Each structure stands twice: as structure tokens, then as C-alpha cells.
């Protein structure tokens, strides 16, 4: 029996761990440590350990499917392509929208973006970053000129003080959580603010439970205390930033005194003072945040407040410091970098910038031009347009996304997708969204392909092929090339390999200019920006100057605003949602992994012990959970580890889908929905 070991990177979270896929007789049969990775040094979390289990699932899509009389019928690739081509050609550019994928490679995100804007000439392309870190991209770009995690993962272990806000790092980015543990072992102080007493909170020297949605108030209060006590980094503020006086005017208001913020957040005033003192006086200090910060109607405000406190304390541009936005999916950073967003091309070059537009139009060489130079719709806006203005959008092409479980207010999403005339879904399983499609195209999974993905720390790493795709499934890049050829654009999609695509990406993207497959083959790979072939890459951003043209960081005076929906008599609790250690997003992969699924087979709602007592609810009892948008039934998990007045549901489980309940209220800039706070009630289920 000969076993082969193929080093690749994990298909789940944005940490970017590497492991070996173990291959026997041409099939992936296991995983094994890959110790040369500087990110995870041979360690992985449970999802990484069992990342082979879904690969050869009997549920994998193996042939194209065409829906006839409401039922899927197997088809040849030519039949599927012919139908798609006929339909795609029948729509005007603005009637078409594309959803790209944070799960596939950079190269394939680039091709989806090029297909939408070049072949279909539509401005509407987006992906699930809209649902997780769109506010990071917008907020950090406004503050620093670049919308990505400023430091590297290894750096976190060098920090003297780590403030975790809106992130359950130990469960959601476990191998980044390991760096918090390492820093703490070396003596670092850890502060954690979270409505739930999570494994991450248990690590903290100072744990502050708070009511979801109070982030800006807490950060303004801490900045007030830091300024009052003279703990700010005066030299940094003076030399590297502007608009400090405007910030001061807001944060020094009485509204943000510890006593007043205590009323908003539920954190005792003394703890707020203590947090400000620890963070203001211990250097270097890093902030780690994730979707607890971003998934709000004030997501951009939250991110800018995090940027404010890090500029105020001079915690930028050095090891152990930084604004560490922990990106969710394996390649959500890369999908953003590749311009799978409605306002930018690759490397965040704006579509409405005439020079950038001309550069891409010239580079791509479509004889009949590309899309009109205007911003397209965000995925959340696409869903609103589909329900509110039927007939404006008619056709959608979705690759590797499952909005029927991942988007807020699923009844609204179902109505929106139902209003499409023609839907193509390209995926590895028949997801809840694929079931609604007119044509389903079977794709290769991460173990069956090469290409690159960019982790949360901007590290661009390789996937490596370990087995062939099942049946007739194809790699996404091949599907794009073949479909583009059928649409009459073979010349614009001439690629023979993913490496050919990457060469084009590197040519048109300044931050990737210096990258080649040869350079990325090394275990340490490269962090962007890497502007030239002799550049070593950039693990820490903003060392000498920020990325704005003048090199200066910009403070933003931000006032606290409550969530769009606040508890009232009818819906008296705050519902917040999130991930758990054993599952990934909509569960399409982890729920097909025998081990992960048997560890945690279904969802639940977490209810504070006192609240449960008042409601007469017992642990494990099935309850009905209701918001203004719908209801689900789920077992209650009664625990003192969640704040009174707050409830939590994981969002992976279709049978008790938390997103039936969540609210599609959007941040006005980033158009990210407020997953992290809506009003909810819980009822006992009485026998009929």
C-alpha cells in the first residue's frame, strides 16, 4: 500500500493553515500534519483534521443537472452550456448578476469577475464578504487607505496586550487563538468583551460581558479615559494622523463617561476604566476582532472606532500591535483582492476611476467593450431589488455560495431567488440554493485543484491537487473558459492552466505584481503587498506611513447608535448568531463529515439560566424562537455563560436556520446586514 502526501491549505477558515492530504490509490483518505507551515506548525483544529471526510461524499455532484418540469435531469456539459449560453445571451447587462465565492481560488474569483464584467457586461458582482467583513474593507480603507488585517498571525504571540472584541477566536480561528495562548504564556494581558463567556473569554484577565451593539460606546469610553489620563501616543498622533481634534470632541463628551457607557453596555464603570488603563498603558497592544464588530448596521462605525483607538495608542506598524480583522472564509480576503466586489477591480482599483477602468478594458481586449463604468449592486441589495422591483434583475450565476442559508431573513431570500427567471449554480453539493437553480454545474473541491488562496493575514498560499474530481465535475476555471468560449469570447479566456490566470492577475494587480507560482511554492509563501519580483512581501502594514496618498491615518469622530431593532415588550431579548468549533458556515461540507456531524448533529438556542427560569424553560427542551420575520424550533441550551437578556444561535443548521430570524437591516456604507443583533422571543411548545 503506497500512500502519497500532498501539502495543501485548509478549505475552511481564513487562518490559512496547511496540512497534508493523504492519498491512497488516487483517492484522498486522510490528513496528516505539515510541519513546515509557519502559520500552524503542523497543528490543526478539528475541521482541518477531518477536512478529507466530505471530499468523497456520495452526495458530490458528478454531472450537470437541468431542471425540467420542476425536477433535475442529468445532462451533458454541452447541453448545459448550450442552455446557459442561449439564456445568458437573452438578457441585458443590467439584468444579470453574479455571486462569486470566498471558497474558491483567487484565479477563479478573478475569472468570475471578468466573466460578469467582460462577457456579460454587467456591473453586478459580489460575494459573501458582504455578509462578514464588508465593513472592514470600507472602514479600514477610510482610516488607513487599505482595508485588510494590518499585522500577521505570528505577530499576535509578540503582543503584550490583546483586546478581543467581537471574536470567539479560540473556536472560530483556533490556530490564531493558539497565538493568544502563546502571548499569555509569555505574560501578555488579555481583555475580552463578549456577551457570551466563550472559550476565548475564559482566557481573559479582564472579561467584560456586554449587550451586543454597544461597541462604539465602549471604544469611545476607553479613548476618553486614555486621553484623560495622558496615555495616548502623542508623537504617533502628531506625526502620523489627522483629525485628532475632531475625534476628541466626540469621545470626550459626557455621553461616553464610564458611568453613561455602563448604562448602554451593561459593563460596570470600574471595568471600563480598568480596560482603558490596561490597554492604554501596555505596549504593544493588538486588537483582534471579527464578525461581532462587522455584522451591524454600524459595522463601518465599529471598524473605524477600532482604527481610532489603535491610532490613538500608536499601536500600528509594529510587531504585536495592529487592527487584526480576522476574516471568515478560507479565501474571503482573496475574493475581495480579486475584485469580486461591485465597486472595485483587483487590488481595490475603483471601477469608477477612469484610469483603472481603461486599464482593465485594454488588458482584457473584449472587442465589444466591457460593462458601463458604474458601481454594481451588493448581494444584500440584489435581494432587495429582486423583491421590491421585480423584473429589474432576471438572471443570476452563483458559484460556491449558499444564500439560502447564509443570508439574513431567509424567507425574503427565498422570495427574491424565486423572482429570478434563470439561475445557474456551480457547486460541489446540491445546496439549499442549488435546489432552486435551473442549471447546476458540478465543480471540483479544494482537494481536486491547484490555485492560490489569500488568508486573513494577506498571505497568498497554494492549493495542490490530490485527486481527480468525481464523475464529470470540472474545476471552476475550466468551466469559465468553456462557457466564455461558447459565449464567443474564447480569445479573452485563453488560459491553459491556473498559473496562466495567475500571471494575468499579477500583471493587473499592483499588490500582487511580484508574485509567481515559483515564489508561492515556498512554505512561507508571500504576504501582499508584494510589488516586485525582488520584494519580500509585507507581513506588517503601515510601518512608516499609511496607504492613503498622503501617508496619513485619518481619525473619524463616531457617535454611538443603537441597533436597528431593539428589544420591546413583544420581542424582549437580543438574538445574536455565530459559528461553532465543529461546523462551518452553511454546513455543506462539515455536515457531510461523519466525525464533525456526529460531534454536533444539530443546532440550539442558548438562553441565560435566569431568563430560562422566568420563561419556565428547561435545558434541552424544544422551544419556538420567533422574530418579526419568522420562527424556528430548536432545543434550548440553558447556561449561565450568556448574558441575561441575550440569546445565541449557531447558523449552520438548515433544520433550525438562525437566518430565518435575522434582520436584513444594512450598514449604509458597507451594506452588511445586522446579523449580530435583532429582537427575539421564545415560547414553550405546547402539545396540540
Contact positions toward ligand SF4, by CB under 6 A? 10, 12-13, 15-17, 40, 44-45, 47-48, 173-175
Which runs of consecutive H residues, i.e. helices, occur in 68-206?
Answer: 77-89, 106-114, 129-132, 134-144, 153-156, 169-172, 174-185, 199-202
Smallest distance from the beta carbon of 88 to ligand SF4, in angstroms?
35
| Cell digits of residue 567 | 428589544
What's the burial of 538, exposed, middle or buried (CB within 10 Å: 0-12/13-18/19+)? middle
Cβ closer to ligand SF4: 48 or 403? 48
What do you get for the CA distance between the two ends of the chain, in Å? 59
Dihedral over alpha carbons 340, 341, 342, 343 (to 10 degrees) = -120
Hunting for cell 480569445 — which residue is that?
Answer: 491
| Cell digits of residue 69 | 418540469
Cβ closer to ligand SF4: 288 or 383? 288
Cβ closer to ligand SF4: 40 or 265? 40
Smallest distance from the beta carbon of 70 to ligand SF4, in angstroms?
37
Smallest distance from the beta carbon of 564 to ligand SF4, in angstroms?
31
Give the nearest residue (CB) to ligand SF4: 48
CA distance 434 to 398: 9
- C-beta separation of 330 from 132 below 8 A: no
| 284 upstream amide cis, omega within 30 of 0 | yes
Cβ closer to ligand SF4: 461 or 662? 461
CA distance 687 to 73: 41
Cβ closer to ligand SF4: 117 or 585? 585
CA distance 257 to 263: 10
Cβ closer to ligand SF4: 47 or 676? 47
| Cell digits of residue 221 | 469610553
Hunting for cell 447608535 — which residue is that?
Answer: 561
- C-beta separation of 325 from 361 below 8 A: no
Strands 18-24 and 27-33: antiparallel
3-state secondary structure string, 73-94? EECCHHHHHHHHHHHHHCCCHH
- C-beta separation of 30 from 38 below 8 A: no
Cβ closer to ligand SF4: 10 or 423? 10
CA distance 129 to 593: 25
Smallest distance from the beta carbon of 52 to ligand SF4, in angstroms?
12
Find the helix packing angle between 299-312 and 244-251, rounded to 10°: 110
Residues in the chain: 688
φ, ψ dihedrals at 115, nearest 5° = -65, -45
Smallest distance from the beta carbon of 44 to ligand SF4, in angstroms?
4
Smallest distance from the beta carbon of 326 to ligand SF4, in angstroms?
10
CA distance 443 to 15: 24
Cβ closer to ligand SF4: 174 or 292? 174
| Cell digits of residue 257 | 463617561
Smallest distance from the beta carbon of 108 to ligand SF4, in angstroms?
19
Smallest distance from the beta carbon of 541 to ligand SF4, in angstroms?
21
Smallest distance from the beta carbon of 11 to ligand SF4, in angstroms?
8
3-state secondary structure string, 235-250? HHHHHHEECHHHHHHH
Smallest distance from the beta carbon of 176 to ligand SF4, in angstroms?
7
Cβ closer to ligand SF4: 153 or 657? 153
Smallest distance from the beta carbon of 177 to ligand SF4, in angstroms?
8
Cβ closer to ligand SF4: 419 or 453? 453
Smallest distance from the beta carbon of 175 to ligand SF4, in angstroms?
4
Cβ closer to ligand SF4: 18 or 511? 18
Smallest distance from the beta carbon of 10 to ligand SF4, in angstroms?
3
CA distance 571 to 628: 8
210 strand-pairing partners: none
Cβ closer to ligand SF4: 146 or 456? 456
DSSP letter for 115, please.
I
Cβ closer to ligand SF4: 51 or 162? 51
Encode burial over 38-66: b for 16+ CB neighbours within 10 A, e otherwise. ebbeebbbbbbbbbbbbbebeebbebbbb
Smallest distance from the beta carbon of 50 to ligand SF4, in angstroms?
10
Cβ closer to ligand SF4: 16 or 320? 16
φ, ψ dihedrals at 21, nearest 5° = -90, 130
Amino acid at each position: 500500500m503506497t500512500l502519497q502526501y500532498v501539502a495543501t491549505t485548509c478549505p475552511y477558515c481564513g487562518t490559512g493553515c496547511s496540512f497534508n492530504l493523504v492519498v491512497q490509490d488516487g483517492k484522498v483518505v486522510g490528513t496528516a500534519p505539515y510541519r513546515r507551515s509557519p502559520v500552524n506548525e503542523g497543528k490543526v483544529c478539528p475541521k482541518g483534521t477531518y477536512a478529507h471526510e466530505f471530499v468523497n461524499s456520495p452526495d458530490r455532484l458528478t454531472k450537470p443537472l437541468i431542471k425540467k418540469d420542476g425536477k433535475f435531469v442529468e445532462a451533458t456539459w454541452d447541453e448545459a452550456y448550450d442552455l446557459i449560453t442561449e439564456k445568458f445571451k437573452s438578457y441585458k447587462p443590467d439584468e444579470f448578476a453574479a455571486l462569486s465565492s470566498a471558497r474558491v481560488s483567487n484565479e477563479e474569483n478573478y475569472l468570475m469577475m471578468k466573466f460578469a464584467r467582460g462577457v456579460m457586461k454587467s456591473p453586478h458582482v459580489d460575494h459573501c464578504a458582504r455578509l462578514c467583513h464588508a465593513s472592514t474593507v470600507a472602514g479600514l480603507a477610510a482610516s488607513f487607505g487599505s482595508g485588510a488585517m494590518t499585522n500577521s498571525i505570528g505577530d499576535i504571540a509578540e503582543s503584550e496586550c490583546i483586546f478581543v472584541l467581537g471574536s470567539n477566536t479560540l473556536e472560530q480561528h483556533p490556530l490564531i487563538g493558539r497565538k493568544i495562548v502563546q502571548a499569555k504564556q509569555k505574560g501578555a494581558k488579555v481583555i475580552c468583551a463578549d456577551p457570551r463567556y466563550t472559550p476565548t473569554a475564559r482566557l481573559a484577565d479582564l472579561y467584560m460581558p456586554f449587550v451586543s451593539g454597544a461597541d462604539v460606546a465602549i471604544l469611545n469610553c476607553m479613548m476618553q479615559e486614555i486621553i484623560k489620563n495622558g496615555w495616548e501616543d502623542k508623537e504617533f498622533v502628531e506625526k502620523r494622523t489627522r483629525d485628532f481634534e475632531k475625534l476628541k470632541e466626540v469621545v470626550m463628551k459626557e455621553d461616553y463617561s464610564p458611568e453613561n457607557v455602563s448604562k448602554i453596555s451593561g459593563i460596570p464603570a470600574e471595568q471600563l476604566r480598568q480596560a482603558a488603563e490596561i490597554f492604554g498603558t501596555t505596549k504593544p497592544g493588538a486588537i483582534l476582532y471579527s464578525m461581532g464588530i462587522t455584522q451591524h448596521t454600524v459595522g463601518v462605525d465599529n471598524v473605524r472606532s477600532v482604527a481610532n483607538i489603535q491610532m490613538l495608542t500608536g499601536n500600528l506598524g509594529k510587531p504585536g500591535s495592529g487592527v487584526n480583522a480576522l476574516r471568515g472564509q478560507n479565501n474571503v480576503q482573496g475574493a475581495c483582492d480579486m475584485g469580486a466586489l461591485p465597486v472595485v477591480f483587483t487590488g481595490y482599483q475603483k471601477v469608477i476611476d477612469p484610469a483603472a477602468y481603461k486599464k482593465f478594458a485594454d488588458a482584457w481586449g473584449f472587442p465589444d467593450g466591457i460593462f458601463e463604468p458604474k458601481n454594481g449592486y451588493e448581494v444584500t441589495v440584489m435581494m432587495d431589488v429582486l423583491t421590491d422591483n421585480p423584473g429589474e434583475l432576471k438572471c443570476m450565476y452563483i458559484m460556491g455560495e449558499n444564500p439560502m442559508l447564509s443570508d439574513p431573513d431567509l424567507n425574503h431570500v427565498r422570495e427574491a431567488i424565486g423572482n429570478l427567471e434563470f439561475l445557474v449554480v456551480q457547486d460541489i453539493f446540491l445546496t439549499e440554493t442549488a435546489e432552486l437553480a435551473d442549471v447546476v454545474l458540478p465543480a471540483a473541491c479544494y482537494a481536486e485543484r491547484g490555485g492560490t488562496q489569500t488568508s486573513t493575514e494577506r498571505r497568498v498560499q497554494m492549493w495542490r491537487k490530490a485527486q481527480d474530481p468525481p464523475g464529470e465535475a470540472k474545476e471552476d476555471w475550466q468551466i469559465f473558459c468553456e462557457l466564455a468560449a461558447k459565449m464567443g469570447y474564447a480569445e479573452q479566456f485563453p488560459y491553459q492552466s491556473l498559473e496562466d490566470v495567475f500571471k494575468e492577475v499579477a500583471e493587473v494587480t499592483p499588490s500582487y505584481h511580484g508574485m509567481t507560482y515559483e515564489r508561492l511554492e515556498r512554505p512561507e509563501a508571500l504576504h501582499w503587498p508584494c510589488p516586485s519580483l525582488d520584494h519580500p512581501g509585507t507581513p506588517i502594514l503601515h510601518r512608516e506611513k499609511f496607504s492613503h496618498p498622503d501617508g496619513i491615518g485619518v481619525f473619524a469622530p463616531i457617535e454611538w447608535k443603537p441597533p436597528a431593532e431593539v428589544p420591546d415588550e413583544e420581542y424582549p431579548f437580543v438574538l445574536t448568531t455565530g459559528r461553532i468549533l465543529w461546523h462551518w458556515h452553511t454546513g455543506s461540507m462539515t455536515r457531510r463529515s461523519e466525525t464533525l456531524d456526529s460531534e454536533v448533529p444539530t443546532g440550539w438556542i442558548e438562553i441565560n439560566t435566569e431568563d430560562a427560569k422566568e420563561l419556565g424553560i428547561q435545558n434541552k427542551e424544544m422551544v419556538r424562537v420567533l422574530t418579526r420575520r419568522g420562527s424556528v424550533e430548536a432545543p434550548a441550551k440553558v447556561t449561565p455563560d450568556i448574558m441575561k437578556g441575550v440569546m445565541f444561535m449557531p447558523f449552520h443548521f438548515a433544520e433550525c436556520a438562525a437566518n430565518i430570524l435575522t434582520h436584513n437591516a444594512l450598514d449604509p456604507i458597507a451594506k452588511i446586514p445586522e446579523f449580530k443583533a435583532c429582537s427575539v422571543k421564545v415560547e414553550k411548545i405546547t402539545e396540540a
